[in-house]
Chain A
């Protein structure tokens, strides 16, 4: 068996995925855990043109191997501003040049920077495997820390943002104890549709607090009808949805308080 293949053809890639090859995207998560070389066999996805770039024909399709730098540099609607803000905070520029949106999702870290903005966009994942293609909502695909609903013989080929979710304004922020290269203590993404100064629809997601990033449906409902600069968040709605954790980066109590602050500010930022 060839230990490393980098096909340029999607059907070839799908066939290989069915034969025990390990998919490799940017490599920014797999190499840090590797020894001298990656244990294989390795299926390098980065030469597949179908997995790169943007297509706005139906909603927005982002190829799974689109790099964070490409996302940050693209001209995208305000609803994707949060995703673009996150893109500029995934490691340093070296990581943004190599790391991909699909790799970030499949690695499924509770602190994955890309996931909260995508949750707030109702993103869907498109997998391809021997049985064909399928779509699943990102929210449903997040099964646990480092666990995503991907069969071993499947490849994530694209992230889709439904047309209906491409409206509204968005903002993202992550908190850490230093400026760059932060694994966040807390992060949050907010996406609001505002009409006549009032929140008509809110989608809110928080990462780094629970085993997976989560939407906060209770809070989203409560916000509807409020004016962004007068929002008062009921901490109970946040804490009940997240049950934040204690770890070396911060205490649960801090996370609970910080999430509320962060969300209030992001909501105001979207309203401004």
Chain B
């Protein structure tokens, strides 16, 4: 029995004294605001104050806490209130999973130093990782938490930096996948392969199942439906629970359900493993005679794609200058701070799964297929999502907990630990890219040959998309009259490669943008001016022959010009200082495939307006942005909308949160729905189009000139959804399929951007210090500039990680201290230049942004390193030892 003071009140915990404080807070005292990201002190999400000092609650035995004062994010103090408000005002919370840890660490600092410098914030909060924000807005929020400010007017129009509509939850410990435990839920644990390729046999499962505390064992034999899932149905090949052999380290081969409260000990689970020879690189997998991972996929090739326009070979032969080269990139881990977690239960005949996800409708379809259920018997309720970045598009534990609940009839719950999350979920595709680019004597690009090989791992996941999307984007946003681009995805026994912010385009950009710098040097042009000269313009045709409109790359590059000239001049007088630039373009939405979104708005008889929007907000801000768009189209403030978030039982399908499609596609559907409802209301009121709608608790009113009257809804018959009036609008971007040469119009909208990096390299240690990044992004229309900046800063942080530190090695870096992601201090000040070249297809002209922002960062860093040192890096990440070796290669 341990007594201590928790948020000012005495509490008693009757638990084992060596339990972690974090577990006691969450599971025994019901305070789930303290988040667990690693159980190892690596991420700081569980930071609490113990007697006023910040500590990781996952590292403290509860026995030590006796008689201590513990403060968590659930505390109500004047300082916490000011901090919360400052976080929201500055856009410092995105997904919200690290926010409780950030807030508590900030309390430790501000209690001692009410007005800290940015350096003090970095030093004190440096133990908390954030994967969404890039830290800059957190630094600002903490330094200014105790400063006077004027309460911003809550302007909710499109173009206003409205605070997140879900912000209050984000700064008080939102409810993520692990934060709901249904009463009586069994705890589900997975048995996972310890080798990349392994045979296995079970021993006496019945005897293990009969142990006290074990509620059941489930293997591949228990799967009632099709034991193969995959985000692209035609390629679905990944078993929810594998039969022998296991094809990658971390693959699930069995589940054990434990009674609530029973120790979930898998130590003596009866299984015998035999390691089998593994194909760990695409080269090994493509070697003659290599065994096939999937017998029907010859040469272990999952798929390939190509874009062929003109005759690149001939164009290069006739070019004044030609450069060639190769790059290789590593597995990159998404490293969201929330490991996968969720719960399942039955509601009558319906299986309900509440888990973190980016794609509720896809989860429903995939899980229903695995479980042999009709989709109307499965309901997916997304929890708050603690970061996704692409990996939470694929199902993870949904079919597992679904199976346990379906077979036992009991609620179940599963929470991945950090190592499990890292080994079993998808990664960014490692790429090997080679090719040549040419230009004429004036510096105009003549042609490109591009060959990309991607390690797609054991199963298909998003491999096909990488193979399609990459060749389309191979040229970058530059006029390229002759193009031959091939990309293929090759199976190995490595981690499954899937979607990760940019779908293979960032890897291609590393190759193409570093070679463009070489080409510019050959022709004697400034790197920025070379890009401006070649930038795609309205009316130009892309590599796929698509004639483009609303092309924003020129304006982005031109916006960088004064910054570039200033920075290059400064660098010229300082040794080992460099400035680099790189561009991006990115097609929003699925590649040449339908991807509709549907948005519904209903009005009750009492005049309550309800927005049903099924787009999952994984931190990027769609809850806010889509509401802003709908409200603007309808002509009411956002505050007049009552929001219903994603739930397959309550919201129509708004598609997946990927491919930078939510603002554009779901936003466009929301705009149409808002306009349709407005028209219906005005019709009902017999008012003209210029009438003003007013919505408040008393109902909806219409104002024409000086005349204001209530719109009568009470008398209307309720529709099937119970609304007096409702509209549902669908938008599917118009695209044209790609032919056998990759010619067509794969995307309706493209977004563009360019980033400039200023850095220094320590010539003796190969250490890079980033000074500033200036980012110009054409997003068509900034629906919410503060959230847009948040996307830019967060994407840049991930680009920095990809460029300088991130290299996932399965079995070696399955934690957040060996796998390095950027911390406070690794992300320099960022100046965002929001460029608005409106696209006629986008809502209010808006284009996608979320993935674009990561693409230019890594190549711009490499170009700046080369400018600073002359070193040409061809392998990512550019760790200090690789930079130093490249510098020596250059000198030698």
Contacts and interface: CB of A to CB of B under 8 A. Distances in A.
B44 A94 contact: yes
Contacts of B609: none
A189 interface: no
B805 interface: yes
Contact of B19 (A32, A37, A94): A37
B265 to A, nearest CB: 8
Contacts of A180: 122, 126-127, 823-826
Given A177-B820, A254-B880, A38 B804 contact: no
A175 B767 contact: yes
Given A27-B59, A183-B817, A177 B44 contact: no
A97 interface: yes
Interface in B52-93: 53-56, 58-61, 63-64
Contacts of B885: 251, 253-254
Contacts of B812: 248
A169 to B, nearest CB: 22
A258 B41 CA distance: 28
Contacts of B398: none
Nearest to A31: B59
A24 B60 CA distance: 10
B743 to A, nearest CB: 43
A179 B59 contact: no
B263 interface: yes
B449 interface: no
Contacts of B55: 94, 97-98
B123 interface: yes
Contacts of B820: 176-178
B70 to A, nearest CB: 13
A157 to B, nearest CB: 19
A37 B63 CA distance: 12
Contact of A98 (B39, B56, B880): B56
B832 interface: no
B371 interface: no
A190 interface: no
Contacts of A19: none
Nearest to B47: A94
Contacts of B263: 36
A6 B125 CA distance: 30
Interface string B571-596: 00000000000000000000000000
Given A97-B54, A248-B818, A92 B880 contact: no
Nearest to A250: B881
B366 interface: no
Contacts of A248: 807, 809, 812-813, 818
Interface in B867-892: 877, 879-881, 884-885
Contact of A261 (B18, B264, B765): B765
Contacts of B879: 177, 249-250
Contacts of B58: 31
B805 A178 contact: yes
B634 to A, nearest CB: 46
Interface in A164-192: 175-181, 183, 185
Given A28-B59, A37-B19, A94-B41, A179 B881 contact: no
Nearest to B46: A94
A179 B823 contact: yes
B818 A91 contact: no
Contacts of A44: 61, 63-64
Most buried by A among B42, B126, B807: B126
Nearest to A251: B881
A254 B766 contact: yes
A31 B880 contact: no
B60 A27 contact: yes
B54 A183 contact: no
A3 interface: yes
Contacts of B765: 175, 258, 261-262
A98 B60 contact: yes
Interface in A204-257: 248-251, 253-254, 257
Interface string A2-16: 011010000000000
Contacts of A4: 16-18, 61, 63
A50 B809 CA distance: 44
A267 to B, nearest CB: 14
A6 B123 contact: no
Contacts of A36: 19-20, 23, 263-264
Contacts of B880: 175, 177, 185, 250, 254, 258
B105 A93 contact: yes
A52 to B, nearest CB: 14
A250 B805 CA distance: 11
Contacts of A28: 41, 56, 59
A57 to B, nearest CB: 28
B440 interface: no
Contacts of A40: 18
A88 interface: yes
A6 B64 contact: yes
Contacts of A91: 41, 127
Contacts of A175: 765, 767, 880
Contact of A3 (B18, B41, B126, B881): B18
B826 A27 contact: no
B40 A31 contact: yes
B153 interface: no
A6 B64 CA distance: 8
Contacts of B16: 3-4, 37
A94 B56 contact: yes
B124 interface: yes
Contacts of B44: 92, 94
Contacts of B61: 4, 24, 27, 37-38, 42, 44
B41 A95 contact: yes
Interface in A50-90: 69, 88
Given A93-B124, A94-B105, A261-B765, A46 B64 contact: yes
A92 B126 contact: yes
Interface in A191-211: none
Contacts of B237: none
A93 B817 contact: no
A42 B766 CA distance: 44
A102 interface: no
Given A44-B61, A181-B823, A257 B807 contact: no
Nearest to B263: A36
A33 B881 CA distance: 29
Nearest to B825: A179
A181 to B, nearest CB: 6
A15 B44 CA distance: 35
B108 interface: yes
Contacts of A46: 64
Interface of A: 3-4, 6, 24, 26-28, 31-32, 36-38, 40, 42, 44, 46, 69, 88, 91-95, 97-98, 175-181, 183, 185, 248-251, 253-254, 257-258, 261-262
Interface of B: 16-20, 23, 39-42, 44, 47, 50, 53-56, 58-61, 63-64, 105, 108, 122-129, 263-264, 764-767, 804-805, 807, 809, 812-813, 815, 817-818, 820-826, 877, 879-881, 884-885
27 contacts: A3-B18, A6-B63, A6-B64, A28-B59, A32-B40, A44-B63, A92-B127, A93-B125, A94-B56, A94-B59, A95-B41, A98-B60, A177-B879, A177-B880, A178-B804, A178-B805, A178-B820, A178-B826, A179-B823, A180-B122, A181-B42, A185-B881, A248-B812, A248-B818, A250-B880, A257-B764, A257-B884
Given A4-B61, A32-B39, A94-B128, 20 more contacts: A4-B63, A6-B63, A24-B61, A31-B39, A31-B60, A32-B42, A37-B19, A44-B61, A92-B128, A93-B127, A94-B105, A98-B60, A177-B804, A177-B877, A179-B126, A181-B127, A181-B823, A250-B880, A258-B884, A262-B765
Counting from the closest, the 8 A-B pairs by CB-CB distance are A92-B127, A179-B825, A254-B881, A180-B126, A32-B40, A4-B17, A180-B823, A261-B764
